[in-house]
Amino acid sequence: MTELQNEIELIKKKPSADQKKFYENLLEKGGLSKSDFVKATLEYATLFYFEGDFRHVIEIIEPIVLDYGHYLEVEDLLQCFSRLAVSVTCEGDYNVAEVYFRIALELGEERKDYLFCSIAYNNLSLTYLSMQEYEKALSCLEKAEKYKGFWDEDMGAFVYINKAVVFQKLGRPEDALSYYNIAAGEYNAEVVLKDDSERLMMKICFDLGKMEEYNILKDRIVETVRSQMPETELFDTCTDLFRCGYASDDKELLIKVLDMMKERVELYPEEYYAACIYADLKYKFAKKYESSDIALSALELKDSYREKMLSKSRINHGHSFEQYLRTNEINFRMEKAVETHDKASKAKSDFLFSMSHDIRTPMNAIIGFTELIKKNACDEKKVLDYVGKIESSNEFLLSIINNVLDMARIESGKMEINEEYVNTDNIKSELIS
């Protein structure tokens, strides 16, 4: 274990607030190697991830992922991609999550990290499930199965439970039950994924008309939501309970579910995506029971939170790109200021070796977000957001081309270093902002 890894193991025993403070101080202090910087950033973001605070996860990890060409040799880079893509999915920006997953899968294939590829395909299937693109979700899970020989002991539980979920969504409860039995019987899913398994079996029993089993599971799940349900699963669980209650005209259950969701939204008012789900279900309840006042209130709430969610998404992504470009520019100038002539040849060789990866970073973003524009041509807000990302990537691509010209000047001895006074406090603020 490295010194940092030993510190991380010790800090994990402390309360979450103390852990966050540790990582904030560590990252602010600087001086970390690339590997340690990525490790610390990932661990810091993970604290927010398991609290369900996905916006903070995105703010923390996205600068590394956008600049992934500089971290290709870092072992934890793929985990950063995975954590970010899942968080973006949970925030409802499914198309952006899809882009991140695709780049991560390409890197995983290059590294021959086939367990990661299986995990990424499994997680991408969840993105497609959220988009209600069930055939694409099933295709991803079939690709995950191709790496079965590289699975750890728990991977099968995730893949086959999710296959069962897809078939349940497709209205094929018998097939869903078949894959559930594989997950439970061969991969111990009822232990590995206790809450997910229980929730899925509740829906399967409901679809198959096994109401006695359904009612037992429903009551147990409601109690779990009230007492100990992890924040990351709460809204998915409430949504499943609501759908069963809606189909069975169980008004008492619907009221319980909406009350639990309202409590969460009031506790965390800036979780806009969760609030949108709550508002949507509240509207469905009002329509079912013909309450126009509640319906109007729900629609106003939904529109308000959707606008806030879109605005926050644009701000976060814009800041990430700005930080990304600014940090690269500062690092480039600092490195060139201290380079000596006898290192110029080696610098050129290293640069040319990694240049293809550096170019691919903005090119992947340009290609990915261009495709998203095609898919969302009618959504002006999304198109403007994606255009902003493409413009940022274009600027970075131009900076790479300028760097190539600078390397030519170094080789020919025509590179000039301009010495000037700078405010180091401002540089430090920009690096950690």
Question: Quick check: 177 and 199 in contact, CB under 8 A?
Answer: no
Predicted confidence at residue 412, as pLDDT, reads 63
Which pTM value belongs to this model? 0.66
Contacts of 282 (CB under 8 A, 6+ apart): 258, 294, 297, 298, 301
Residue 11 has pLDDT above 80, yes or no: yes
Q: Summarize the confidence of residues 249-255 as an average pLDDT.
A: 94
Residue 238's CB is within 10 A of a number of other CB atoms, namely 25
Tell me the per-residue pLDDT of 169-202, one tens digit each, with 9 for 90 and over. 999 999 999 999 999 999 999 999 998 999 999 9
Q: Give the C-alpha separation, 1 to 22, whole Å.
A: 19
Task: Pull the structure tokens for residue 176.
Answer: 């869903």
Of 135-139, 276-280, 296-300, least confident by mean pLDDT is 296-300
Average confidence score pLDDT of the chain:
83
Tell me the per-residue pLDDT of 131-183, one tens digit each, with 9 for 90 and over. 999 999 999 999 999 999 999 989 999 999 999 999 999 999 999 999 999 99
C-alpha 355 chain-centroid distance = 27
Place of tokens 């997950």: 183
Residue 57 has pLDDT above 90, yes or no: yes
Question: Quick check: 232 and 52 in contact, CB under 8 A?
Answer: yes
Task: Give helix 211-227 / helix 251-267 axis angle, nearest 10°.
Answer: 20
Question: Quick check: 100 and 79 in contact, CB under 8 A?
Answer: no
Q: Give the C-alpha separation, 117 to 106, whole Å.
A: 9
Predicted confidence at residue 352, as pLDDT, reads 60
Task: Pull the structure tokens for residue 349.
Answer: 């060789």
Predicted confidence at residue 331, as pLDDT, reads 44
Predicted confidence at residue 83, as pLDDT, reads 94
Taking each continuous run of H as one helix and of E as one strand, the counts in the chain are 20, 0
Residue 319 has pLDDT above 60, yes or no: no
Task: Pull the structure tokens for residue 300.
Answer: 């106003």
Task: Pull the structure tokens for residue 345.
Answer: 């040849």
C-alpha 340 chain-centroid distance = 41
| Angle, vertex CA 196, rays to CA 40 and CA 147, nearest 5 | 65
Residue 424 has pLDDT above 90, yes or no: no
Handedness of CA 328, 433, 43, 95 (dihedral sign): negative
Residue 58 has pLDDT above 60, yes or no: yes
Does 98 or 399 have the greater pLDDT score? 98
